[in-house]
Each structure stands twice: as C-alpha cells, then as structure tokens.
Amino acid sequence: MPFAAPQDDPIRAPRAALALLATAALALAHPHARADTDKLLLTGGVTTIDGAAGGGLTPWAVIGSNATEGEWGATATASVVSTRNYTMQVQGVMLAYDDRVEVSLARQDFATEATGRALGLPGLHLKMDVLGAKARLLGDAVLDSDNWLPQVAAGVEVKRTDADGLKPTLQALGARTNGVDFYVSATKLLLAQGVLVNGTLRLTKANQNGLLGFGGTGHESYKLEPEFSVAWLANRTLAFGAEYRRKPDNLDPSPLGAGLKEDDWWDVFAAWAPTKHLSLTLAYVQLGHIVPAVATRRQDGGYASAQIAF
C-alpha cells in the first residue's frame, strides 16, 4: 500500500530504511545466502504490529526469523486489524543475526473511516513508521527450557506519526508526533508442557500506541506499563494463546482529550506454521474505546497476519 507524501516528508528516512531492509531480506531468501535452520517452529514468535518478534500486540524476548547461532535471518509480514469503526494495515520487515539481535521496521496505516467523517475529516488516515531493535541479554528460551532461567531481551522502538488533518488537535493537547518506547521482555518456554509465558515492561509516552501522538499537556513523563502473553503449543505447528497490554491515558484529563480516552488492549489468537518459512495468525482483538466522543462502542474485531521467515 503506497505511503503518499510530499517531497519534504519527514518519514522519508524510515521509508528508505524499509527499502534497505526489504532488499536485505530478499537477498537472504536466496538459498546460498543462509544456512538451513534447526530452530523449532513458532519458538521465534510471530510479528507484532510494531515489527518486533512476539505476539500480535506485545513483543517477546525471543529473536525473530529462523536464524540460529552464527546465522542471518529475515522476515516479512503483512497484517490487518478490523474493528467496528476502524481498519489498520501493517507491513513490516526484520533482520536478525545469531539468534541474539534483531532490527525491524513496520509501517502502520490506520483508516478512521466513519469516525473521520464525523470529525469533519473524511478519508483521514493516521500513519506511523516504527524502527525497532532488540537484543537478547541472557538465557535461551529453548536450551534453558528445563530450568528456571527465562530468556531476557531489551528493545527500543522509535516511532514517527503522520496525523494528517488531526495534527492541529494533537498539538492543542500537547501531544508530539514522534516518540521512543523502551522495553524489557522475559520469555519462559516450558517445552515439555508446551507452554510459553512472556512478561514485558514498557516505558512509553504513546497515545494509542503512537497513532495519536506521544504525551500530552501535564503528561510529558514516561509511564511504565506491563504486558503479558501466554501460549500453548498444541503441536509443533499450531499454538493458541492470549495477550494483554496495559495502556497509558495521557489525553483523557482535558475536556477535549476526554473524547480521546484510551483503554487497555487484549486478544486471543491462533498461530499456525505449516512450514518453517510460513506462519499464519488469526485473533480476536479487543482494543477498548478509540475516540469515544464519536465512536462510542468498544472496538473489538478480527486480526489476521501472514509472515514469511528465513
């Protein structure tokens, strides 16, 4: 999906990075550019809406792609979220090395549909680019599956939002159009039981993950928010699970911001990996209220994602 922008578009740099990562991913797809992987299916997670390896909503400590020790890996993903009033499409690519570090880039396009028309902004799309990096600090989810030690990773997500016609409103609320999230994740895989548990702590100023900017008047400081995931590996190719992500509510206290109240997110999902190179994820998502001044009902709906990994 094109990301139309004028020549002086500040998001041009992430677009160039996306092209570079995509080119590298295609190069790694060549059979002579990578080693055959011994990585267990689904133990690298899928791809979050922000591009990092994990579930759909929250990152895990695992490193994405099929790369194991000493190998390069890459993934490409496309996702769509459809709720009562909104639709969001996401494309992302990731490079990983040595099952220890990953670099990712995701582009989100959030269509406001009837809500945008009600706000007098027909055709309003909120667009955001997310440049992410994650490094494994200690543990190995698979090799340490028979002891208490989890895999722990730290990550950063640099976000830049194009709020289009909503930008003056966000500025009036004191929200910025760029921000940085920091997180630490711990993932424990109980391989014998087929259970994966993840906990993430995120430092963030993001409103609706950044689509409504970052911070607000009187809310310039970071907030520490927890995120949780659990998955059951029914067999080597199929997993079922759930996620919960607590969100800050930076815009609600002001009279104007009350119409932009923010709720926590959660989902239940099924992930299927028919081959080591392909995984498909379906989920029911509950995103709470998004611009409740106009869209009064909670935003629940469906999530679908396809990932190619090497």
Enclosing H/E stretch for 171: helix 167-172
Q: Is residue 77 part of a domain?
A: yes
DSSP output for 111-137:
E-HHHHHHTT-TT-EEEEEEEEEEEEE
189 near 143, Cβ under 8 Å? Answer: no
Q: Is residue 224 part of a domain?
A: yes
In terms of residue numbers, what domain contains 235? 12-309
Q: Provide the pLDDT for residue 260.
A: 82
Q: Provide the pLDDT for residue 275.
A: 94
Q: Provide the pLDDT for residue 9.
A: 44
3 pLDDT exceeds 80?
A: no
- Least reliable range by pLDDT among 5-14, 55-64, 211-220: 5-14
Q: Provide the pLDDT for residue 255.
A: 62
Q: Is residue 6 part of a domain?
A: no
Q: Is residue 7 part of a domain?
A: no
Residue range 292-303: mean pLDDT, rounded: 92
Whole-number mean pLDDT of the chain?
88
Q: Provide the pLDDT for residue 32.
A: 42
**Could you tell me the CATH number of the domain that includes residue 226?**
2.40.160.40
pLDDT band for position 25 (50/70/90)? very low
Q: Is residue 267 part of a domain?
A: yes
Q: What is the pTM of this model?
A: 0.87
Model pLDDT for residues 5-20, shown as the tens digit of each residue: 333 443 444 455 455 4
Q: Is residue 192 part of a domain?
A: yes
DSSP output for 2-47:
-----TT-TTHHHHHHHHHHHHHHHHHHSGGGSPPP-PPTTTT-EE
Query: Between 308 and 169, whose confidence is greater?
Result: 308
Domain count across the chain: 1
Model pLDDT for residues 90-119, shown as the tens digit of each residue: 999 999 999 999 999 999 999 999 999 998
pLDDT band for position 256 (50/70/90)? low
254 pLDDT exceeds 90?
A: no
Question: What sign results for the dihedral spanned by CA atoms 36, 152, 97, 10?
Answer: positive
214 pLDDT exceeds 50?
A: yes
How far apart CA 268 and CA 131 sit, in angstroms, is: 26
Residue range 50-64: mean pLDDT, rounded: 97
**What secondary structure letter does DSSP report for 219?**
B
Q: Is residue 4 part of a domain?
A: no
Q: Is residue 1 part of a domain?
A: no
